[in-house]
Amino acid sequence: MFHLSPSILAADFTKLGAQIKEVENAGGDWLHIDVMDGLFVPSISFGMPVIESIRPASKLFFDVHLMVVEPIRYIDEFKRVGADLITIHAEACEDIAATINKIREAGCKVGLSISPDTDVSVVEPWIESVDMILLMSVHPGFGGQKFIPETMDKIRAVRRMINEKNPLCNLEVDGGIHLGNVEEVTEAGVNVVVAGTAVFRGNIADNMAAFYEKCKKDVCHE
């Protein structure tokens, strides 16, 4: 099933609650929440207090992307504040299996991500153990960057692995997605699309309607 996951990193934080409502009213179902620790990535974004304060105001599925070193330390906290799905970076974990188990035990869905320089072979052994693979299409750390074209081959390769090993696993792409390239990535095998700038710059409802229009036919790669 296709999901658009608007990234609040690009929201106007003076109007965060209202903008999340706009996402919901525009027919949104997922919300992408980027947590950056200043170590795994150069920048720092926001953490638990922000998620905790928006949770009661929204029914959206909270897709929490942890760009954090050793995220295993914080899984229970992210569950407590309202994460539905927690995505960790393979590059940031000493023990991927233990981190995945920790997320499962906490009662959240599990995502595993790789940065642009990491080979898809790194995620292959985990496809049967997770609910989503996230392919970064920019170097993580900042919104508003340009899509890295080499991601296209990685999408096709991971889609093949998913179809073979765990067809219910979602495949998400994150970074530099806009109306001009969203069809290309969904046709290649992505079924969850993150968009920050392309949703929050301008009119949220119009932007989201345009995304849904482009991705109308339900994406089914099985």
Of these partners, ligand DX5, Zn ion, none, which one is at the site of residue 143 (CB under 5 to 8 Å by kind)?
ligand DX5
> How many amino acids of this chain bind ligand DX5 (CB under 6 A)?
22
**Is residue 11 near ligand DX5 by the rule CB under 6 A?**
no
Total count of residues recorded for the chain: 222
Q: 166 or 212: whose CB is closer to ligand DX5? A: 212
Helices 16-25 and 204-214 cross at an angle (nearest 10°) of 40
Q: Which stretch binds ligand DX5 (CB under 6 A): 2-10, 124-132, 165-173, 185-193?
A: 2-10
**Is residue 34 near ligand DX5 by the rule CB under 6 A?**
yes
For the question of residue 153 being annotated catalytic, the response is no
Q: Which two tokens stand for residue 183?
A: 């069809």
Q: 50 or 165: whose CB is closer to ligand DX5? A: 50
Site string for ligand DX5, 80-119 (x = CB under 6 A): ----------------------------------------
The distance of Cα 40 from the centroid of its chain, to the nearest Å, equals 16
Residues whose CB is less than 8 angstroms from the CB of residue 161 and which lie 6 or more positions away in sequence, other chains included: 120, 123, 124, 127
Q: Which candidate in 37, 63, 131, 174 is catalytic? A: 174
68: Cα within 13 Å, side-chain hemisphere = 23
Report 166-205 residues binding Zn ion (CB under 5 A). Answer: 174
Q: Which residue is nearest to ligand DX5 (CB)?
A: 196
Query: What does the buried/exposed string (b/e) look like for 133-151 if buried means 16 or more CB atoms within 10 Å of the residue's CB?
Result: bbbbbbebbbbeeebbeeb
Report 33-62 residues binding Zn ion (CB under 5 A). Answer: 34
Residues whose CB is less than 8 angstroms from the CB of residue 194 and which lie 6 or more positions away in sequence, other chains included: 5, 6, 7, 32, 63, 65, 172, 173, 174, 175, 177
Active-site annotation, residues: 34, 174
Residues that bind ligand DX5 in the complex, under the rule CB under 6 A: 7, 9-10, 32, 34, 65, 138, 140-145, 174-177, 194-198
